[in-house]
Chains A and B, each alone.
Chain A
Amino acid sequence: QKEVEQNSGPLSVPEGAIASLNCTYSDRGSQSFFWYRQYSGKSPELIMSIYSNGDKEDGRFTAQLNKASQYVSLLIRDSQPSDSATYLCAGRGSGGYQKVTFGIGTKLQVIP
């Protein structure tokens, strides 16, 4: 079982729609979760971090965490073509050195 699982996509949404990206994790001890955006050929850049159950909003982005269900999601409102990228879900596991584990990433395509 992979530690962080995502659907690789692609997920296609029309411009202006809400994009919903999902992720599950296996380590119940994980405390911190992150969403990174990665454009083709570039390195990942942090969009959101979330540490507590519930929702966290930042502009057009909302991260949701449900530790009981071991589920993390990212909503992108009013999707723009510039949002087209791969979105990586990551979790920091329990353990002495607290490594960050990434999912495979979901490729999002926003259609103009």
Chain B
Amino acid sequence: ETGVTQSPTHLIKTRGQQVTLRCSSQSGHNTVSWYQQALGQGPQFIFQYYREEENGRGNFPPRFSGLQFPNYSSELNVNALELDDSALYLCASSRDRDGANVLTFGAGSRLTVL
């Protein structure tokens, strides 16, 4: 059983640029959630994808967008990068979107915006 994989692991961008982060969900999981974790903070919910549709969103502006593909992998896109976007971006997959299903996290993508 393969776990959740994310790429790239580290990247550096400048303000105003755009970034795409990628995530492959764990085998058997159909739901993907994205989180932003700033230094010293807990993970903040960005959005969740289920059956290729966004079915929940946290308090993030529209320049944060995503996709889920038929194989349940997912992308997070951030446009017009700001310095405050510097954080660890975590992808988590779950077997379904029901309450009891636990999240399994990938190793994360650490984004630095200069």
Q: Could you list which residues of chain A lie within 8 angstroms of chain B, going by C-beta atoms?
A: 4, 6, 8, 31-32, 34, 36, 42-46, 49, 51, 88, 92, 95-105
**With A and B bound together, what is the CA distance between A62 and B63 in angstroms?**
41
Known: A44-B90, A49-B102, A103-B42. A96 touches B56 (CB 8 A): yes
**With A and B bound together, what is the CA distance between A51 and B99 in angstroms?**
9
Verify A97–B103 contact, CB threshold 8 A: no
Please, what's the 1-or-0 string for B38-70, where 1 marks a CB less than 8 Å from any CB in chain A?
A: 001111110010100001101000000000000
Verify A99–B105 contact, CB threshold 8 A: no
**With A and B bound together, what is the CA distance between A43 and B50 in angstroms?**
22
A-B contact count (CB 8 A): 63
With both chains docked as a complex, state the minimum distance between the C-beta of A22 and any C-beta of chain B, in angstroms: 15
Which of A34, A97, A99 is the one whose CB lies under 8 Å from B102? A34
Verify B97–A98 contact, CB threshold 8 A: yes
- CB neighbours (8 Å) of B104 from chain A are 46
Verify B45–A99 contact, CB threshold 8 A: yes
**With A and B bound together, what is the CA distance between A33 and B104 in angstroms?**
14
**With A and B bound together, what is the CA distance between A88 and B43 in angstroms?**
9
Known: A97-B55, A99-B56, A102-B42. A44 touches B99 (CB 8 A): no
With both chains docked as a complex, state the minimum distance between the C-beta of A63 and any C-beta of chain B, in angstroms: 13
Verify A96–B106 contact, CB threshold 8 A: no
8 residue pairs of the A-B complex, CB under 8 angstroms, read: A4-B42, A34-B102, A44-B43, A88-B42, A95-B56, A99-B48, A99-B58, A105-B42
Known: A43-B105, A43-B108. A98 touches B99 (CB 8 A): yes
**With A and B bound together, what is the CA distance between A49 and B104 in angstroms?**
12
**With A and B bound together, what is the CA distance between A88 and B105 in angstroms?**
13
